[in-house]
Amino acid sequence: MPSSALLWVGLKLKVGKTPALVDAGAQFSCMRLNVVEYIRSRGEEYRFAPCLLTCLLTHGTRALVKGAVRLRVRLLNFSWDHEFKILSEVPFPAILGMDVLQRTQMMADFSSRTYNFAFSPSSVGSFSFTELQEGTFLQRLGGEVANFTTLAQGYLKDLNQKALMGEFPSLFSTSLGIANCSPYDIELSDTAPVRSPPYRCASPKLQVFKQIVNELLEQGVAGPSRSQYASSAFLVLKNGGGFRMVVDYRKINPKIVFDSYPMPNIEQAFEQFAGAVIFSVLDLNSAYFQVPLTPEAVECLLFELHLAYSNLIVSPWESVWALKG
């Protein structure tokens, strides 16, 4: 991860400063075992408390917590006693979780990489781990953190867009693919066809319609057809400019029998991430247009323009089963 994305602070202890990562995703604060052992070797006063719980680390593995230590800590001009869970596998010397953020009411300014506490807005600190004592164990922790950040930056720098596209050319294409699944069927509550006359359209928009339909024909998404069903198409403006063709399926939607399908909940989905350390978000190219339809479903999804009558041969997002299923 880039260093600019890491929110480090110098957490003051009686024996010096240790780099601590501010992590709003951590339920509780924790400290690495070797840091606790160093504090103990220097004779700093602390209180140990046994505990037993399991937590999920950022790289997907589960860790068993068998103890906690209560220390006097200081940020900015404020000090208090705080409990840290002791972990041996955590990659960072210390992590300040939601318990610290809630207690101090920390407010972060990401643009300036500064923070303050809501009860004392005039006291401002910076997200940095450079202010560490030289020649100490705690300074070596700072070097370790710097090395970790440098390696992460170098690794992510290699994962650039062109390299990924070159390594997986079949996944990054301007042409549409077809999902490897059974064609989807649309069941209607009755066989009475529905029809709508085409909407009036000004001449400039007709040219836009023609371009969009030609693209659908070239990609194999639509094709000329005859059917007893007809739904009107119209254009809507995109947020980023240009037009999107939309088909008005409001007459046929009430006749479509809802296809209920069990979906996993969000907790089950997150469990599949266990063991992963890099996460990507990819947007499918016209995802619904990659879902094949049966011939019966194709027939009832005919859309009409002033240009011609065409059938969609893949899933349109405007139909009710596509929105719900």
> What is the average pLDDT across 195-214?
84
Residue 46: the pLDDT is: 78
Nearest Cα to Cα of residue 92 among 58, 43, 67: 58
Residue 322: the pLDDT is: 41
Backbone φ and ψ of 173, nearest 5°: -145, 150
More confident residue, 310 or 302: 302
Residue 83: the pLDDT is: 93
Residue 325: the pLDDT is: 31
Q: What pLDDT, in 10s, does the model give residues 19-29?
A: 888 988 788 89
Residue 140: the pLDDT is: 66
Measured distance CA(179)–CA(182) in Å, rounded: 9
Q: Say if residue 162's pLDDT is above 60.
A: yes
HSE-CB at 256 with a 13 A cutoff on CA atoms is 23
- Report whether 288 contacts 222 (CB < 8 A): no
Q: What pLDDT, in 10s, does the model give residues 57-114?
A: 665 567 778 788 899 999 988 999 999 998 877 778 889 988 999 888 898 888 888 9
Residue 323: the pLDDT is: 35
Counting residues of the chain whose pLDDT is more than 70, the rounded percentage is: 78
DSSP track, 75-121: ETTEEEEEEEEEESS-SSSEEE-HHHHHHHTEEEETTTTEEEETTEE
Spell out the residues 6+ positions from residue 50 whose beta carbon is closer than 8 angstroms to its own: 66, 67, 68
The confidence band for 279, taking pLDDT boundaries of 50, 70 and 90, is: confident
Spell out the residues 6+ positions from residue 303 whose beta carbon is closer than 8 angstroms to its own: 222, 230, 231, 232, 233, 247, 309, 310, 311, 312
Q: Write the Ramachandran bin of 6: left for phi over 0, alpha for psi from -120 to 50, otherwise beta.
A: beta
> What is the average pLDDT across 226-238?
87
> What is the average pLDDT across 174-181?
78
More confident residue, 268 or 173: 268
Considering only 4-18, 32-46, 49-63, 232-246, which range has the smallest mean pLDDT? 49-63
Residue 304: the pLDDT is: 80
Token pair listed for 72 = 């006097």
More confident residue, 163 or 14: 14
- Please tell me the pTM assigned to this model: 0.46
